[in-house]
């Protein structure tokens, strides 16, 4: 234990010495402006295009911009864009809520308060609790009804359809959370009111105003198409970070004992080209992000070498693989759900895979 504490202290000292606590706000704001430009240019090109192929290409361009907006302001949600708290919050409301239609307060609860504190923890982290639509563990399949066990055996076939609704589900869940919070007497009224106003402005700008000059059906179709494409993009970026079989789903009883190890073993770094890295704003460096979420992602490439050595010194796993491999491993994990792990370091429990032929032993 003392060795780990010493290594952690050395790691923090290296981070401070390297200047990684500096937040290059101007650079991040310039990158955000590029993402926003791509988002709106894609919409303009879509409206000006006549051919179906050109419209599809325009939507893909807009989706790329939306991914960049989401990943960039995800940095802001962790207060890593600026040392000014108000600016980080304003950027999060702007990107998440106003541009993408996702409740910022819901995100803060789901992502900051739960996912980052309990990553991949069984029945705690909702990011890996996808029932009844998908079962990511053999334990869930074993507890399911015979009909659902049969469905889960072929759930990989339903995945393309289910992924299309990711953004819609987040929007609906966020709206429910926001409405319930506004009715709560103990709510932080200012935060939830700002969130509600930003969300209202989103629907006014993206649905109401366009409907004044375009057919309502076209406006709704365009909005739905954007949400569907963004859903696929989000899956392609976020799922490979925690779903692959190398990242165990934890039972949770040992997480409190070694939170550093929990953050490392449940995350996957995946390698991208410069375009993908630009759009992901550090989301491809999940290990570094989970260890130091308040550090700007601009530092992650350099920080990764230091973290890799830290893991090697303590005998911790460090998974860094190509994005295509991480995505393939994600699909494999959905097709062959793992057992819940009772040992963070060894992944004990992950060796058994459910093939649908029998109920796994408890």
Q: Which residues 6+ apart lie within 8 Å of 59 measured at CB? A: 42, 46, 225, 226, 229
Would you state the pLDDT for residue 185? 83
What pLDDT is attached to residue 350?
Answer: 42
User: Is pLDDT of 360 > 70?
Assistant: no
DSSP code of residue 206: I
pTM (2 d.p.): 0.90
The whole-angstrom separation of Cα 300 and Cα 287 is 9
- Span 146-159, mean pLDDT? 96
Convert the pLDDT of each residue in 32-64 to its tens digit: 999 999 999 999 999 999 999 999 999 999 999
Say what the pLDDT of residue 136 is: 94
How many other CB atoms sit within 10 Å of the CB of residue 83? Answer: 12
pLDDT at 352 over 70: no
Q: Does residue 357 have a pLDDT over 80? A: no
Q: How many domains does the chain have?
A: 1
Does the residue 186 lie in any domain?
yes
Nearest to 338 by CA among 265, 255, 246: 246
Average pLDDT, the chain: 91
Task: Point out the least confidently predicted range of 108-117, 171-180, 261-270, 341-350.
Answer: 341-350
Residue 22 lies in a domain: yes
**Is residue 348 in some structural domain?**
no
308 found inside a domain: yes
pLDDT at residue 349 greater than cutoff 90: no
User: Which tokens go with 313?
Assistant: 């010194």
- Burial group, residue 245, by CB count within 10 angstroms (0-12, 13-18, 19+): middle
| Reported confidence tier of residue 13, pLDDT bands at 50, 70, 90 | confident
- Residues belonging to the chain: 362
CA 19 to chain centre: 27
Asked if residue 351 is part of any domain, the answer here is no
Structural domain containing residue 43 = 2-335
pLDDT on residue 341? 84
Share of the chain residues as helix, strand and coil, in percent rounded to the nearest 5: 65, 5, 30
Sign of CA pseudo-dihedral 210, 213, 219, 220: positive
Tokens of 49: 């295009």
Residue 240 scores a pLDDT above 90: yes
Task: Return the pLDDT at 358.
Answer: 32
* Residue 157: inside a domain: yes
What's the pLDDT tens digit per position in 261-299?
999 999 999 999 999 999 999 999 999 999 999 999 999
Is residue 244 left, alpha or beta, with left meaning phi > 0 and alpha meaning psi from -120 to 50?
Answer: beta
Residue 306 has pLDDT above 80, yes or no: yes
Tell me if the bond preceding 132 is cis, omega within 30° of 0.
yes
pLDDT in tens, 66-116: 999 999 999 999 999 999 999 999 999 999 999 999 999 999 999 999 999
- Residue 10 — pLDDT band, cuts 50, 70, 90? confident
Question: Would you state the pLDDT for residue 362?
Answer: 28
Question: Residue 350 domain-assigned?
Answer: no
Confidence at residue 356, expressed as pLDDT on a 0 to 100 scale: 32
Q: What confidence score (pLDDT) does residue 5 get?
A: 74
Instruction: Note whether residue 269 is domain-resident.
Output: yes
């Amino acid at each position: 234990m003392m060795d780990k504490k010493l290594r952690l202290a050395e790691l923090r000292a290296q981070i401070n010495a390297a200047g990684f606590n500096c937040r290059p706000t101007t650079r991040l704001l310039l990158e955000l402006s590029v993402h926003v430009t791509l988002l709106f240019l894609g919409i303009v090109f879509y409206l000006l295009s006549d051919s179906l192929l050109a419209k599809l290409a325009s939507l893909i361009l807009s989706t790329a911009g939306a991914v960049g907006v989401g990943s960039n302001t995800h940095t802001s949600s962790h207060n890593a864009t600026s040392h000014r708290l108000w600016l980080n919050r304003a950027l999060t409301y702007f990107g998440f809520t106003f541009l993408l239609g996702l409740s910022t307060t819901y995100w803060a609860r789901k992502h900051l308060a739960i996912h980052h504190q309990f990553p991949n923890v069984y029945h705690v982290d909702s990011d890996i609790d996808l029932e009844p639509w998908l079962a990511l563990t053999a334990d869930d399949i074993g507890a399911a009804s015979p009909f659902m066990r049969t469905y889960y055996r072929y759930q990989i076939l339903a995945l393309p359809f289910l992924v299309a609704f990711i953004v819609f589900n987040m929007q609906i869940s966020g709206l429910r959370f926001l409405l319930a919070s506004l009715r709560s007497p103990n709510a932080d009224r200012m935060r939830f009111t700002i969130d509600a106003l930003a969300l209202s402005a989103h629907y006014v700008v993206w649905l109401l105003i366009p409907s004044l000059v375009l057919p309502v059906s076209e406006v709704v179709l365009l909005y739905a198409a954007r949400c569907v494409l963004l859903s696929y993009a989000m899956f392609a970026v976020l799922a490979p970070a925690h779903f692959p079989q190398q990242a165990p789903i934890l039972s949770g009883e040992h997480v409190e004992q070694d939170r550093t190890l929990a953050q490392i073993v449940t995350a996957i770094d995946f390698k991208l080209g410069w375009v993908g890295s630009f759009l992901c704003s550090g989301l491809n460096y999940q290990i570094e992000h989970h260890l130091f979420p308040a550090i700007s992602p601009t530092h992650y490439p350099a920080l990764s070498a230091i973290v890799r050595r830290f893991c090697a010194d303590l005998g911790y796993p460090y998974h860094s693989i190509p994005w295509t491999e991480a995505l393939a491993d994600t699909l494999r994990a959905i097709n062959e759900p793992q057992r819940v792990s009772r040992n963070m370091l060894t992944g004990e429990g992950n060796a058994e895979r459910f093939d649908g032929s029998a109920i796994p032993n408890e």
